[in-house]
Amino acid sequence: MTSTSPDVKGRVAREVTRRGAAGVEPGVASGTPVESDLGWALGVVFRRYAKAAAAALEDVPGGPRGYQVLATAVAEGPRRQLDLAAQLGVDRTVMTYLLDDLEKAGLVQRQADPADRRARLIVPTAQCQELLCELERRLGTAEDEILGSLDEAERSSFRMLLQRVAMKANAIDPVHNACDLAEEAIDRA
Amino acid sequence: MTSTSPDVKGRVAREVTRRGAAGVEPGVASGTPVESDLGWALGVVFRRYAKAAAAALEDVPGGPRGYQVLATAVAEGPRRQLDLAAQLGVDRTVMTYLLDDLEKAGLVQRQADPADRRARLIVPTAQCQELLCELERRLGTAEDEILGSLDEAERSSFRMLLQRVAMKANAIDPVHNACDLAEEAIDRA
DNA sequence: TATTGTTATACTCTATAACTATA
DNA sequence: TATAGTTATAGAGTATAACAATA
């Protein structure tokens, strides 16, 4: 635990992102002095969750991303390929590869949109529905493990606070604007 | 906001990682039904923080990773290049490039380790110290913005709970084991 | 002419392997 | 022989650009 750092000055030893906004590798925290740091804790928890989720979704083509496509397609009904890409924040070319794999696995089908023959509607198969139920279960288990150090009351408190922070973060960041896109999609339908 | 999802089944529409454990692009949440999900919230908050940190550390060679190197070097004193790499969880080849840039910017120097002429000690310069103070300030501001939706009491409560979750996550995951490496380093010195 | 989706290509980041200089 | 560090190379993953089909 870098247990050898009595000379840390203030928050200088903080752990920021542990990999920038683009890296991948795990990275480990360095211990005592940094553990009071938000960025460090956030990074550790997030990566732990990401790792657990990736493990739970290992057999899904495209991993977590593939899962998101399936979940969205099931939850919101058949959607056009490009809308799906925009909503999930993935590049449209990536979406092509992703769907190639998912289709090959028999989890979705590409159907021509009767309203616009250029577009393809992504429709989940029955097999997809089944799989999602199982994945749901696994992800729930993973969540519980992550929050294992908190009792029930703390857990719900933590979830609530995190939710509020997330809501604000999401509101501030005008990223891809899935909301607007979704809205448009309704109008179009 | 995917405001159009009255038919969501259970937690099927949850947002996992929004990019897998390896992706990069931002990705946006889809709204109402998923906002009760841990993975979604975690992803949003983490990415928001990562983004803010990256922006705050924009002028640091190597970005957040470069910052970590500097912070560690300052906090723990001159360390050997390879130990630093192991501790921060970066590949040793990446560390070479990283240090090339940091050295070019006059933030660190590579000095031959008198105890082992193969090794290089990474020593921060005075300029590095100055820069770190400024970066500390910026990062603190970024943190405050992230937690802007919480009042003081909630903020400290959130930090505490997150810390506990992080401690456990960090303990469970036997990743690179910076602790052991650090321990070894002491014995060696 | 603009847009959906595909393909091919290029770019970025990271890891692997080979090399040097020391030990 | 093994290790610290460098360099060159190859490998994912992503984004850009050109293309076909349709609007």
B142 located within any domain: no
The verdict on B114 and B75 lying in the same domain is yes
Write down the pLDDT at residue A32. 34
Decide which of B40 and B86 is more confident: B86
Task: State mean pLDDT over B115-134.
Answer: 97
pLDDT per residue, tens digit, chain A (189 aa), is 333 222 232 343 333 333 333 222 333 333 334 445 898 899 999 999 999 999 999 999 999 999 999 999 999 999 999 999 999 999 999 999 999 999 999 999 999 999 999 999 999 999 999 999 999 999 999 999 999 999 999 999 999 999 999 999 888 764 444 433 333 333 333
* Contact of B178 with B87, CB cutoff 8 Å: yes
Share of chain B above pLDDT 70, in %: 72
pLDDT at position B173: 65
Mean pLDDT score across all residues of chain B: 78
Residue A108: strand pairing partners: A124
Q: What integer pLDDT is reported at residue A170 of this predicted model?
A: 83
What pLDDT score was predicted for residue A36?
58
DSSP H helical ranges for B25-151: 38-56, 63-76, 81-88, 92-104, 126-146
DSSP assignment, residue A184?
H
Is B43 within a domain? yes
Q: What is the dihedral of CA A71, A51, A31, B151, to 10 degrees?
A: 0
CA distance A9 to B133: 10
pLDDT at position B187: 38
| Residue A143: per-residue pLDDT | 93
Q: Would you state the pLDDT for residue A33?
A: 40
User: Does residue B51 sit in the same domain as residue B88?
Assistant: no
Nucleotide nearest to B117 (CA to C1'): C22
CB of B137 within 8 Å of a chain A CB? The answer is no
Give the mean pLDDT of B108-133.
Answer: 97
Q: Is residue B47 part of a domain?
A: yes
Poorest-pLDDT segment among A81-85, A147-151, B5-9, B27-31: B5-9
**B157 closest CB neighbour out of A49, A161, A168:** A161
Q: Which two tokens stand for residue A52?
A: 């657990």
DSSP string of B142-168, one letter each residue: HHHHHTTTS-HHHHHHHHHHHHHHHHH
Pick the last residue of a domain from B113, B129, B145: B129
Where a domain ends, among B129, B154, B183? B129
CB contact residues (below 8 A), chain A span 148-187, against chain B: 148-150, 154, 157-159, 161-170, 172-173, 175-179, 182-183, 185-186
pLDDT of residue A181: 38
Provide the whole-model pTM. Answer: 0.77
Check CB contact under 8 Å for A146 and B54: no
- Please report, rounded to whole angstroms, the spatial distance between the CA atom of protein residue B46 and the C1' atom of nucleotide C23: 44
User: Do residues B75 and B19 both lie within one domain?
Assistant: no
Number of domains within chain B: 2
- Please tell me the distance from the alpha carbon of residue A106 to that of residue A86, in angstroms, as a whole number: 23
Q: What are the residues facing B80 on neighbouring strands?
A: B121
Expressed as residue numbers, the domain containing B72 is 63-129
Length of chain B: 189
Reference A36, options B130, B48, B41, B166; nearest CA is: B166
Q: Do B20 and A54 touch (CB under 8 A)?
A: yes
B72 within 8 A of A40, measured Cβ to Cβ = no
Domain CATH code at residue B85: 1.10.10.10
3 state SS of B4: coil
What are the φ/ψ torsions at residue B146 (nearest 5 degrees)?
-60, -45
- Label residue B23 by pLDDT band (50, 70, 90): very low
User: What pLDDT does residue B11 have?
Assistant: 40
Same-domain pairing of B51 and B104: no
Confidence of residue B170 (pLDDT cuts 50, 70, 90): confident
Residue B115: inside a domain, yes or no?
yes
Q: Report the pLDDT value the prediction gives residue B36, as an integer from 0 to 100.
A: 59
* Amino acid A171: pLDDT: 82
- Token digits for A135? 């994945």
Residue B141 lies in a domain: no
- Whether residue B111 is found in the same domain as residue B70: yes
Radius of gyration of chain A (CA): 20
Place of tokens 């939850």: A75
Q: Cα–chain-centroid distance for residue B130?
A: 20
Burial group, residue B102, by CB count within 10 angstroms (0-12, 13-18, 19+): buried
Q: What Cα–Cα distance (Å) separates residue A156 from each residue in A39, A104, B38?
A: 22, 40, 11
**Residue B37: what pLDDT?**
83
Joined together, the tokens standing for residue B21 give 């454990």
Q: What is the pLDDT of residue B20?
A: 32
